[in-house]
Structure 1
């Protein structure tokens, strides 16, 4: 089965009719500024920030609503999950920080015909 990415047991991809179309990756360098009253701020290194990912897409019909419920069930476990991309690269452990869905074109039984969604992940470390 082809996949774009697997987060724990959840698979993103066309094979499950839940593919993402955007992936934003954020890596902070751990720099902060300390304000100095009489000059420019002093740069200080506080350690590398956790990486973040925002995965987003547009899905259709009740199946998309079911997939988002699956992701919410994983989020409710409150445990870090392994993230593996479609070429087999292990990205390590990640936590689900936020799930956002915007439903539109809702029919009379409450089914959204179109759902724009995002999943916000943060790297998990053991310190």
Structure 2
């Protein structure tokens, strides 16, 4: 008898050793875009011939909100920047243990909101773009 996956309320997604969750950086939106490549050859008086040549781009965009007083930490975004600075790629594993592939960090956008004295934001919107490399 197959057992059902164990769901963890704190583990949304793992990129390498970075855990996306309530204690670090919880995302509220997960968007994935996958493509497949087909090459075409023109034919006289007919539609182009097409041949499937393999998978194309596979990107994931995660968007979320950090409110360190309630959930998430500023240090989590710093850690993601450090990971991106290496240029490496890491396995991406969802909360039920499915490996989605190896992804690199291509982009991290942040928006500071409700900025307090000293330039410290009470909330930070973030969006991170990952691209599959395997």
Q: TM-score, normalised by structure 1?
A: 0.81
Q: Does 1:108 align with 2:117?
A: yes
Query: Following superposition, which runs of at least 4 residues in structure 1 exceed 3 angstroms of deviation?
Result: 31-36, 39-47, 61-64
Contact map agreement 2:15 2:91 (CA 8 A) in 1: yes
> What residue is the counterpart of 2:56 in the other structure?
49
Are the aligned partners of 1:97 and 1:121 in contact in 2 as well (CA < 8 Å)?
A: yes
Structure 2: stretches of 5+ with no match in the other structure: 1-7
Which deviations, in whole Å up to 9, do the C-alpha atoms of 1:37-96 show, x marking residues without a partner? xx9984755532121100110111485322111100111111111111111111121110
The TM-score with structure 2 as length reference comes to 0.78
Does the 8 Å contact 2:36/2:57 carry over to 1?
no
Hey, what does 1:93 align to over in structure 2?
102
Maintained 8 Å contact 1:33/1:41: no
Please tell me whether residue 74 in structure 1 is matched to residue 83 in structure 2: yes
Cα distance in structure 2, aligned partners of 1:43 and 1:75: 40
**Unmatched segments (≥5 aa) in structure 1:** none
Query: In structure 2, do the counterparts of structure 1 residues 43 and 76 end up closer, same or farther at CA, with 3 Å as the change threshold?
Result: farther
Q: Given the superposition, is the C-alpha separation of residues 41 and 99 from structure 1 closer, same or farther in structure 2, using an over 3 Å criterion? A: farther
